[in-house]
Amino acid sequence: MRYTPNRFKALLSACVLSLIATAGWSQSLTWLGTLGGNQSEAYGVSADGSVVVGWAYNAAGQRRAFRWTASGGMQDLGTLGGDWSDASDVSADGAVVVGWAHNAAEQRRAFRWTAADEMQDLGTLGGYDSYAYAVSADGAVVVGWAQNAAGQGRAFRWTASGGMQDLGTLPGYDWSYPFDVSADGSVVVGRAANAAGRDRVFRWTASGGMQDLGTLGGDWSVASGVSADGSVVVGGASNAAGQRRAFRWTASGGMEDLNRTYASLLTNGSELVWARAISPDGRYIVGWGYNATTRRYEAFLLDTGPR
């Protein structure tokens, strides 16, 4: 299963819009259209909401990465020589777009796009395919997944000066996948995986390498989001009973089950299953869970209070 940070961030945006509605602030809805085809999806948005990125079908039925602004509309960002492309994330100022695109050999390659340089192929780690999932706030650091020469998927961190860096994986694991990056690009979070189907959450820093953040007593955990300063990680993990639970991790508190920490906020029978994203300051956490009152699985917004 592919977990993209953009979808998690979309949940956060939706919850923010809900808060705006509650507060009585002005609201608007803009349909962005397509590139001539019959479908489009938005995955990332700039800090001020003026730039949106995602993919749309063109008139030929090809899937293309787009960058949208109110003044310019939906711009086709092209490909790397093939037919398809997909934009995953955008920098805070909207100037840098990242994602994947087909090259002339129809291999999927991670790209970084700017108006000046257009679409840049970020390469691989020796294999065929790569994907860019997220970009730092200033657009200087790109994180994603790439194949190495052995065909294993590895998390990477790319910079203009250092190129594509293999972040490795955890001991006993074969693959790694990043899902989010801190504002300055110094902290990367995601999951490591092995052939047995076990996932384990990791937090990577340049000074400490890849750190196993553990589980909630089970054998599975995945990181979905990280705060702007990289100090707070959220995601989903299994407990000793094999149940999926939303978690928050900090260096001082370790991995905590949000159902226990905020039990007083939950009605009897309700569960927070997965934390998908976190606000830059670490205060707001969004995800999905079971609402016993409505008997439905629903998105949630958790306000953890001033930090």
Q: If you write DSSP's letter for every residue of 73-104 in order, what string do you get?
A: EEEE---BEEEEEEEEEE-TTS--EEEEEEET
Do the Cβ atoms of 102 and 115 come closer than 8 Å? no
Whole-number pLDDT of residue 26? 66
User: What number does CATH give the domain 5-303?
Assistant: 2.120.10
pLDDT at position 197 is 75
Residue ranges covered by each domain of the chain: 5-303
How would you write the pLDDT of the chain (307 residues) with one tens digit per residue?
A: 334 445 445 545 544 444 444 455 567 889 999 999 999 999 999 999 899 999 999 999 999 999 999 999 999 999 999 999 999 999 999 999 999 999 999 999 999 999 999 999 999 999 999 999 999 999 999 999 999 999 999 999 999 999 999 999 999 999 999 999 999 999 999 999 988 778 999 999 999 999 999 999 999 999 999 999 999 999 999 999 999 999 999 999 999 999 999 999 999 999 999 999 999 999 999 999 999 999 999 989 999 988 6
Task: Give CB contacts under 8 A, 24+ apart, made by 121-125.
Answer: 121/80, 122/158, 122/164, 123/163, 123/164, 124/148, 124/164, 125/149, 125/154, 125/156, 125/164, 125/166
